[in-house]
Structure formats: C-alpha cells, structure tokens
Structure 1
C-alpha cells in the first residue's frame, strides 16, 4: 500500500523589489529649511503680537506658504530601481517603468521623455551651469596634464584619471539614470504604463490658505 505523496508548497519565484536609489537636491533642502524657519518666525510673531486682522492674515499666509515652500524645496526627489523611475515633483508624482522611458535629456533643465512623447521635468535634479563650467575646466586641465605626461613618456595615475569624464553632480545623476534605463528597459519586471498622480496633500492646504487670504483681503 502506497501513501500519496504530499505536495510541497510551490517555491516563491517572485523576486523581491530592488532597493531604490534616491536623489535629492542638498541645496534645495538647505534653502527650504532656512526659508521655512524665516516664514515660521515672522508668522508666529504676527500671530502672537499682532492686532486686529493681522493674526488672521498671518495664519492664512502660513497655511498658504508652508505647503508651497515644502513642495518646491523639501518634497522633490527621484527614486530609481531596476523596475521603474519614480519622480516626486512639487505637485505630481510620476511613476515610469523603464520600458516607457524613451530618453533622459539634459539642457537648461533635466527632463525625461516617455515613449508616447510626454515630457516631465525632474525638479530634484536641478541643472547648475556654473557646476558644468567648473567640471569642463577640470576636464580640460586633466586632459592637458595627461597629454603632457604622455609627451614625457609617463603613465599612471594622471593618465588613468583622465579616462573617466569629469561631470557636474546633476550630470552624474542623469548619467546613472540613463545607465539604469539602458540596462533594464527590456526587463520583464520593467514593463508597464506610466502613471501620474496629483499631490492633493500639497495643493489642498495651499488652496485653502489662498482662499482664506483672498477673503480677508477682500473684506478689508
């Protein structure tokens, strides 16, 4: 007499989601913290020591300004992994599987172009023309030093260092994102359609503050 074989549970073949690479603007974060501190200091002072309509105007201004400052300075971020590119802009969150990314373009701003032709700006990676010029000068200097070393018959660190191009920080980030796109665009896990979600958690409070402030100013 034979006993039926027990069916072993099917192995979980689903691969875990890869860890995100996160890109943000340090200058934007520092500027946002400083600007928030200034607005809170002025607003709280007006709330405490103001008279008449001043406290109400200060409260409405705080409700309007705080979400906007956070949206344009602290909120922007880029999350990239092997499956998709997620862009958190001031008022939208754009999720782009790598299969939907046609190109990543750098000019006066950094942008991603989808296969359908849609274009989205990447707020978290601002372009610095000054940093680009500085990187270009360093690249020219390194190339000149490598050429001089070659004439003198020397090889080593100077020549090796010139092999890697010197880029501004934002251009390095865009280069990393292009490499991820090229590497994973045809991956089965990177297929799908783009999704765009409006950031109502930012727009709602800002709109409420704007309405209250407009009413108070209109009433006089």
Structure 2
C-alpha cells in the first residue's frame, strides 16, 4: 500500500498562495496597465514555481517496493533492503549503500513540535475530585503510548526503519538506489526566471 507524507503546514500555505495568485492574476488582467502588469505577472509566476518546488512537490512516499524521497529537484528511490540506518533530528536522514545519505525534506520536526511531544510524554495524569479521566480502550491506550514523546517525523522514521528491517529479515536483495531529476520543477523554475528577465527587459 502506498503512503505519502508531506509537510501539512507547507502544503496548506502553498494552496493559500495559489489562491492569492489566482486572485491577483485576475485583477492584473482586468486592470491591465501594460509593462508594470507584465512584470507583476512574471514575478508571481516565478514565485509560484518556487512554491511548487519547495512546498508542493516534496514528499516521502512509502511503497511496497521501497522508499521514494521526493525533494524539490530530484527523486531518490531506495529498495527497502538497501536502507542501512535511519536517524531523526529536525529532518529524517536515511543512510544507504556506500555511506550515502538521503535527507528527506518532509516531514520535518521543529524545536517547538519536539518540545511539545516531550511534554506530552512526561505530563502527569491530572486527577482530582472534580476531574475525571476518560476511559481509553486498549487500542487507544496502545496508540497513545506509541506516539508518546514522538513527533510526526519520528513516527515516519520508525515506519521506514521497520520496513527496512522486515525486508532484510525476508532476505530481499539490497538493490542500488535510483536517482531521477524532477524535470517538471526544473522546467517551471527556468521558464519562470526567463519570464521575469524578459519582463524586466521589456519594461
């Protein structure tokens, strides 16, 4: 089964930006003022290309065959058995092959999120005469314990580590990594930059 993990904050903000751009493009077309409008449209296009590359495209994809790390300008695919180690700090770092490293763009954990997770793990149960605690089912209690002290990045790192260990136990072959360029991001950024240069020259 395919699982896709993204930065929820970046994803939401990217779509907010796209809505903002759509409104402004409509306004610039309706109130077209010549060269200034062309420059503004080109700048909006360039910024939108960058937003796509750094906010919409990056994702960590878990498939049956392996891990696909989609970064702004390239995708690295690692078969599960080829993964040697996974560490999580503010980002997920995957070591594979001959001491090679893949740093995943998403999900990342901020210092604030990590501190919140630690507080959640060490928070004492609040009980008193006027306070009642809801009774949790065994499944809910197990989920609470599994997530205690962990950020979203920690949890995704655990999933990657578990799948890699399972693949090695099954005796799967450690096939080499495959790295491909993200031509859509590259073309968008190049075209957007060319439009900005052209608009500035015309202006």
TM-score interval, smaller chain:
0.7 to 0.9
Corresponding residue for residue 175 of structure 1 = 158
Aligned to 1:56: 38
Q: Which runs of 5+ in 1 are unaligned?
A: 1-18, 146-155
**Per-residue CA distance 1:144-202 (angstroms, 9 max, x = gap):** 55xxxxxxxxxx97xx7686461122211111111111111354555311111111111
Aligned equivalent of 2:54 = 72
Which has more radius of gyration? 1
Change (3 A) 1:182 1:217: same
Q: Is 1:185–2:171 an aligned residue pair?
A: no
Distance across 2 between alignment mates of 1:164 and 1:112: 22
Matched, 1:35 2:6: no
Counterpart Cα distance in 2 of 1:214 and 1:107: 39
The alignment's C-alpha RMSD in Å is 2.8
Q: In the alignment, which of 97, 114, 119 is matched to residue 96 of structure 2?
A: 114
Measured in 2, the distance between the counterparts of 1:196 and 1:88 equals 10
Moved more, 203-212 or 113-122: 113-122
Secondary structure at the residue paired with 1:202?
Answer: helix
Q: Whole-Å Cα distance in 2 between the matches of residues 76 and 119 of structure 1?
A: 17
Q: Which runs of 5+ in 2 are unaligned?
A: 126-134
After superposing on structure 2, the runs of 4+ consecutive aligned residues of structure 1 that deviate more than 6 Å are none
Superposition deviation, residue 20 in structure 1: 1.5
Which protein, 1 or 2, shows the higher relative CO under an 8 Å CA cutoff with sep ≥ 6? 2
For 1:98-177, list aligned pairs within 5 A.
98-141=80-123, 144-145=124-125, 164=146, 166=148, 167-177=150-160
Q: How many residues align?
A: 192
1:25, distance to aligned residue in structure 2 (A): 2.1
Q: Aligned pair in 2 of structure 1 residues 115, 216: CA closer, same or farther (>3 Å)?
A: same
| Superposed displacement of residue 39, structure 1 | 2.3
